[in-house]
Every structure is written in C-alpha cells, then in structure tokens.
Amino acid sequence: MRAIDLRSDTVTQPSVEMRAAMAAAEVGDDVLERDPTLALLEERVAELLGMEAALWVPSGCMGNLIGLMLHLRRGDRFLAPAQAHVLGSELGTGAWLAGGMPEALAWEGGPGRPTPVQVSRAAGSPGPYYTLRTTLLCLENTHNFAGGTVTPQPEHRALVATAKTAKLAVHLDGARLWHAAAALDVPLSALTEGVDTVQVCLSKGLGAPMGSLLSGSKPAMAEARRLRKMLGGGVRQGGVMGAAGLVALDYLPRLAEDHAKTRRLAEGLRGFGIAAPMPETNILLVPVPQAAVAVAALESVGVRTLPVGSAIRFIPHRDLAMVDIEAALRRIEPLAHLFQEA
C-alpha cells in the first residue's frame, strides 16, 4: 500500500522538469561574486513581493533569523503572535543568536492574529533609560500552527501602521505568504505593504528541495548578505538551487488546487462526524483526544500525519492529487472513532 504523506508540504519531490533545470543551470561563485541564476531568482522574487531587493538563503529559519538580526539589538524585545514559528520552532535563535527578548501576543484578532491594540499596548512608550526597549513586530502569514490562517490585507495594513506609529520595525515570516495571497486572490505585494523585511519559502508547497528568500531594502540586503556568510549560509554555485526555485515559482498559479484538496479533506472528515474546521489554505488541524495514538493508527493504514499539540495536522500538497485525498478519506473512515471524545 502506497503511503499518502500528509505530514507537510515540504515532503514533495523535485519534479523531472525541476531536476532538468537544476542540471542545466548557469552558475557562478555566489560568495566571491554573484551566481547569475540566484541573482535572477532574487530579482524575480523581490519584484513579486514589491520589495527593493532579495537574498537567497538555504532555509526559512535562516531567513527569519537574519531578519531578526537586522532589526534587533541585544536585549530588545520583539513581539510575535502566540505559537509563531520564530517563537517556538526555531530553537530559540531569536533570543540566543539575534539577542531579542520574545513576547507572544494572544490571538485576540482571530486564529493566529493579534490586534493593533495589542501591538500598541505591548510596544509601550519610551520611558527612562532603564526601560525595556521594544523594537520589532514579527508577523506570520499564513500562521502555521493556527492552521494555515490568513491575515487579510486590511488587518495587515492596520498592524503595520500601528507598529510604525510605535516605532517598531516589521518582519514578516511569509513562509507560506504565497498561500495567503492565493486564498485572498491578491498580489503578494499587497501583503508585504509597509514591512521592512519578509521571508518566503520555496520548499513549502512549491516543490523546491531547499531555499528561501529574505527581502527588503538594498542596504538591508547588503547587510543580510554579510550575516548569511557569518551563519555559514554563503553558497558557491547556488544557481543549482536557484534554478529549482525559478521552476518552483511556476506552481504559484496552482496553489488554489491544494487549497481545494484541503477543503475536500475537511468536508470528508466532517461527513464521518469528525469536528474538522474549514481550512483557509493548505493546512488542516483536526482536534483529537490522543494525538500520538491517532497518528500511529493513521500510519498503520497508510496515512501519514503529524501531531501538533492536541490536534493532527494534515497538509495536502502538489504531489497528491484529488484521488489521493479520496483514498485517504476511505482509509480514515474506519478510524473516525479516534477523533471522538471518550
């Protein structure tokens, strides 16, 4: 029985076309000078994001870390929505490498979203020299651990405006910003308005084996390039990965198909009496009494998932077709009782 892998949108295999583009990539030494294919990818992504410049980095974690390092001085506080990736899933690097003091904002604006009032309250106002300084707001769109939830453009705008009034810089963890833009049917640049830096991932849903881009102003990206080198992320013939990234961008118009697969999965589960929320993008978090037990039972019938707190996470992606979602539902149906409270 072929396993249906719904653990993450990072489990995709590079396509034949992507591998061919990687093999044929024009490359140079990106540490000594510039790799032409990485340069092209950076230019194209900066343009999509409506930013001045971009820098390829090996991973989303490194992109976020460099973003935080650009904005924080040691001991500065930064704000982020509760359960943001930068708070709980990057091994504390925002604190121990970027020197920031994290402050989680509860989801008073909806799942994964703080309100502008919370931002303004948490930012505080300048006090005497011994006052703790808050200098950065870090947003996440879509919010992974809230279940791929989207921050719509007006809310994004209001959060950024409040941050600016409070003299905070804004970094956006846009690992899945593509998904937010697809769900809202707006250009990516509508969701980066006013941010100082944004990080987007090519390895989540788009099929690239690795690679993210940090984007911001030209001077910020020049400094980011130094920081990337400092962290061991300076690559030589990175164009091999850059070519994969350029092919990955071709999947952007098809992300809505993954959202449709995720909705179908939720509807099917609801049909079995399971309390699945309706997903906004490609992430479905289904509450379950015993996550580890349910994950193991699903694995035994060839449906691979991950536990996230007291829920199970399902992420359909480009390597799964609608027929695979239907097959997964048939496998899950006999296990529906695992999702019910005892």
Ligand X SMILES: Cc1ncc(COP(=O)(O)O)c(C=O)c1O
Nearest of 100, 5, 22, 42 to residue 321 by alpha carbon: 5
| 255 or 329: CB nearest ligand X | 255
| 212 or 305: CB nearest ligand X | 212
Residue 10 C-beta: closest distance to ligand X, Å: 6
Residue 166 C-beta: closest distance to ligand X, Å: 24
Residue 133 C-beta: closest distance to ligand X, Å: 25
Residue 171 C-beta: closest distance to ligand X, Å: 11
| 30 or 140: CB nearest ligand X | 140
Residue 213 tokens, joined: 């881009």
Residue 89 C-beta: closest distance to ligand X, Å: 7
| 206 or 338: CB nearest ligand X | 206
Residue 65 C-beta: closest distance to ligand X, Å: 9
The residue sitting closest to ligand X, measured at its beta carbon, is: 60
CA 267 to chain centre: 25
Helices (H), the chain: 16-24, 36-49, 60-71, 85-88, 93-96, 116-123, 153-165, 177-184, 218-230, 239-249, 255-271, 291-300, 322-332
| 41 or 175: CB nearest ligand X | 175
Integer Cα distance of 53 and 42 in angstroms = 7
Q: Where do contacts with ligand X occur on this chain (CB under 6 A)?
A: 59-61, 64, 85, 140, 144, 173, 175, 201, 203, 212
Integer Cα distance of 109 and 139 in angstroms = 13
| 274 or 312: CB nearest ligand X | 312
Integer Cα distance of 205 and 11 in angstroms = 9
166: Cβ contacts below 8 Å, ≥ 6 apart? 119, 120, 123, 134
Contact 190, 153 (CB under 8 A): yes
